[in-house]
Every structure is written in structure tokens, then in C-alpha cells.
Amino acid sequence: MRWTRRTAPPRRSLHVHDAAFDTAARGLGFTLDDSQLEAAAALAAGDLNLYLWGPVGRGKSWLMATYFAALPTDRKVRVHFHEFFRDLHLGIRRHGNNLAAALDELLGGVDLVCFDEFHVHDPADGKFIARLLPALLDRQIRVILTSNYPPRSLMPNPLFHDDFVPSIELIEQFFTVISVDGPVDYRTVSGHEAGFAAGWWVSPGTQEQGDRLGLRSPTPDERTILTPAGHPVHVLRAAESFLWVDYADLCENTTAPVDYLALARQFSTWVVSAVPDLRAAGREPAQRFANVVDVLYDCDITTVFLAATPLSALTDSGRLPVDIERIRSRLGQLAEPELEAAER
């Protein structure tokens, strides 16, 4: 199927100099690989919609962030796709189910919108994206997406994939698709310094291990219920910028990325306790946990996970989340006290 797009006035130049990427890379001590150079050139040109995809940790989000920072305008938006979805749904309700009006509210006066972590697994999300993409492309806005999936691998569930094919064709027609698939996963070589990377994966999560990290176990009277985005979330402690929540309360109940995003805005340090062996946790709770990790990573929240199993036990299984490779890569930035002790 071929799609047509209504014409609109030419947008402003969104070109940046190629040197911005080389300078940023040298500042971090690395050299752009061939796939990153191709993506950087396409970003710098400033004219085409782009779909950057590839394995975890290859620099897709960094490339987009570098372009975004180098573009000398405030008529730009960069947002995690989960977060945009939440805000757009709220806007649609405010405007009486009027998608165009909601987009005007969120993107009016914008020349560039960058979406991090674009993926489609849920059939309901797929139906909504089928409405969103044509409406977005009708606006004179440059759209840049990053994803771990090539377009043809979106909506991988064979029961619903065919229904999403028209949206895939729309992406292939109106976006330049570039694979960023260099040999280095940069997340595996990052330092344990600040934000998410300063967190810990602690197994088996004993009281002694918690004490060594300076964690004081919550008392029963500290337990409370928060409603960050409408869903009630039971937490063990919520004090100033610190949140302690049990895996069961966070992932086994009906919660969503909008809840995690709202909590991440309020609390900059988290403890997630009693994380079970994900291979036996059930598909939906495990997928919610994957969403939690995505939000905590993207919001750069320092997090301690008290878990039943070491990270090395997160192996492939039919019960694990679809995005387990990305989740494993992100969790791989965390320190593991037992491993560090063994090395000493």
C-alpha cells in the first residue's frame, strides 16, 4: 500500500555541522564507527525523517541527543515514546477525542520531534500508532525515531503483525531507515559513577548486603499508597527523594509506564526489593519489570535492585520480556557486590 501526504509549507533548516558529532565523540574518548558516521551525516543534513535502529548500546540515542543539542533552536522536542504516549492520551481526552488538537497542544510551533525507544508490542498501541503516524506526518515537522527493531520486526506477535503492516509501510515510505549496528556495546564499558549507572544489583538481597550499602529496611508504619498517575501503587517507603517499593507491588499489580514515569519525576533514588527469578515470574509481571527498567534508565534514576538471582541468571526463556537483550544490557551497568567481593 502507498500513502499520500498532504503538502505543507517548507519547514526551517534543521542542518547542523558534521563536526558536532566528531567533537562530542572525542570528548567521550571514542571514534565514530561506519554506521554511526552514516547516521550522523543523515542527522546533520537536517532534511529527512529518520528511523535509527540497531542492537542495544550502539549509540542511537547518543547520536540523536548530540544532534538535538547542536541544533540552535528551541523549536524542538525530545521525549521517550512512553512519555509522549501518556501525554497524548491525556490531551486527546481533554480535547474530546480530537487527535489533531492534542498534537497541536503538544507539538504546536515545533520543527523537530525526537522519539527515544520506539517499539510496538501491544495491539492496542499498534492501533493507536496507525492513527498517530499519518497525523504526525501531515505536520511540517522533522521526526526522528530510535528503535532496537527494524520496521519489519515491529509488532512481532504473528497474530497482530499483519494488521500493523500498513504502518510499517508508512515508516518505510516516509522515513530514511538506517541501521546503527557497530561492534561495540558502549553500555558495557561505561563507568559506575552517577545516575542509573551508580546503582546496584544485589543478590540474593540479604539484610547483611543491604546493611553494607547503608540501606535501612522499611518499617511497617512507613508503608503507604501513592497514586502517581491514577493507578494505586503500594510502596514500602516514600521519603523526600527516596522510594522503596517491592517488586510484587510494582509489577504484579496493574501498573503502567505512566506510573513509573510519574514516580521517577518525584523520586531520584529507588530501591526495588524482592525481585524474583524472572524466568518464573510470569510474562506480564516480567514485561512490567522491563518497562520499569526502561524508565529508570532513561530518567537516570539511581536504583538498587534486591534480587533473588544474579544478573547472569537472566537468560533467554519464553517467559522473559520481548526486549530482554536491551534490559540485560541496561542492567549490566549496575555493580554487583558479590562479584566485586569475589574479585578482591
CA distances (Å), origin 71, targets 77, 97, 108, 243? 11, 33, 18, 36
Report whether 40 contacts 18 (CB < 8 A): yes
Pick from 1-15, 17-31, 36-50, 248-262: least confident: 1-15
Residue extents of the structural domains in the chain? 19-179, 190-343
More confident residue, 337 or 209: 209
Return the CATH number of the domain spanning residue range 190-343.
Answer: 3.40.50
Could you tell me which CATH class the domain 19-179 is placed in?
Answer: alpha beta
| pLDDT (tens digit per residue) in 83-139 | 788 788 889 999 999 999 999 999 988 999 999 888 888 888 889 999 999 999 998
The arithmetic mean of pLDDT across residues 189-218, rounded, is: 82
Grid coordinates in use for 69?
Answer: 543539542
CA dihedral 161→162→167→169, nearest 10 degrees, is 120
The residues near 325 (Cβ < 8 Å, ≥ 6 apart) are 55, 56, 148
pLDDT tier for residue 338 given thresholds of 50, 70 and 90:
low
| pLDDT (tens digit per residue) in 307-323 | 999 888 865 554 566 66
Identical fold at 19-179 and 190-343?
yes
Closest CA to 131 of 116, 144, 145, 120: 120
